[in-house]
Amino acid sequence: FLMTSTIGIYLIEYILTGNKDSAFASIFSSLWWTAVTFTTVGYGDMSPETVQGKIFTFFVMAAGLINFSIVVSMVTEKFQEFRSGRDRGLDSIKIKSHILICSDDPTWMKEILSQNQKYVKRDKVVLISPYDEHPLLATSYKKLKWISGNSFDLNVLRKAAAAKAKIAYVFFKDSSYALMTVLQLETLSNGRIVTQAQYVGREYRKYFEDVGCDHALDPYDLYVPMMLSAFHSQGAPAWINKVINRNHGHQIATKKTDSLHIGKTWLELIKTNKQNHGIMPLAVVINEVVLINPDASFEIPKDSLIMQLEPFEISEGSSVMQFDVTESS
């Protein structure tokens, strides 16, 4: 359209009139006039002198307005698409030497981010989550880059530049999703990315080893040593000290389950001991396996131990393991 208008005004105002003194005597001058008229700037330094030229100018101005509106509309639409795609986690991200956090648990994501503030401050974090909106939208991490989709989808991982990432943290409520994600990450990066996964269920341990996961952890493997330490070692670990009112000289003790409680539910045991004896059961120990606060409907089995928080006078003189958590003077 620009060239057509340029040639048109050149022919009408110069060639057909034969006026050598016309302001449109050159193609460049005609192009300048077309650009100014097309954008409706209208400097006024050049204007057609013939009736035909003025009529032609009218059509050029009208066409310019229409085309200019179309161009502005297209640019605005593309910008909105880009912004909407970024906000919805649909755009590809250009980044390297970053960390990936793949999860459907926002709380777990925040915990990982709190331990990787160096990457957060450098904006070197990419979240991958199956949600339709930013998984941490209501937190201070709402501006972090993110990709929406299943992290075991190669296309989603490519959008997150997973092949160029340094570390990937993976946890899903369904451990099979975490397993598939680790497999895809190791495949896509040829084993270069360091994968750290959390899973639930001991049967998954071998599977994560088989797919080449660098670090795989079942939280249960941490809870058990902590609880065993609480009644096999002198004193109590810090996390237990925080929940005990030490001013009243409470004790952590483990005792064989009373025959009256065998077959009763965990909730019934708590009600009986707490209301009648001032004792708070904490866990059931079965063959050195610690069940911390099991379900209310859990039935107390034979040959089990009850780990409980009780006043000092109850524990004093008992032959069972005791753990003084009172403050030393």
**Which pLDDT value is given to residue 291?**
82
Lowest-pLDDT range, 70-84, 132-146, 189-203, 291-305? 70-84
Note whether 189 and 227 are same-domain residues. Answer: no
**256-294 pLDDT per residue, tens:** 888 888 999 988 988 888 877 778 888 888 876 778 888
Question: Residue 28 phi/psi, 5° resolution?
Answer: -65, -45
**Which pLDDT value is given to residue 42?**
65
* Alpha helix positions (H), 233-316: 238-241, 266-277, 312-315
Q: The domain spanning residue 38 has which CATH number?
A: 1.10.287.70
Strands of 167-171's sheet, edge to edge? Answer: 145-148, 125-129, 99-103, 167-171, 194-198, 215-217
Note whether 70 and 158 are same-domain residues. Answer: no
Structure tokens given for 52: 């035909």
Give CA–CA dist 121/97, Å, rounded: 14
Closest listed residue to residue 101, CA positions, set 139, 144, 154: 144
pLDDT at 142 over 50: yes
329 lies in some domain: no
Q: Please, what is the Cα angle at 260 between 258 and 265, to 5 degrees?
A: 95
| Number of domains making up the chain | 3
Q: Quote the domain boundaries for residue 113.
A: 99-218
Q: What is the mean pLDDT of residues 158-178?
A: 93
197 lies in some domain: yes
Distances 89 to 203, 229, 249 between C-alpha atoms, Å: 33, 44, 54
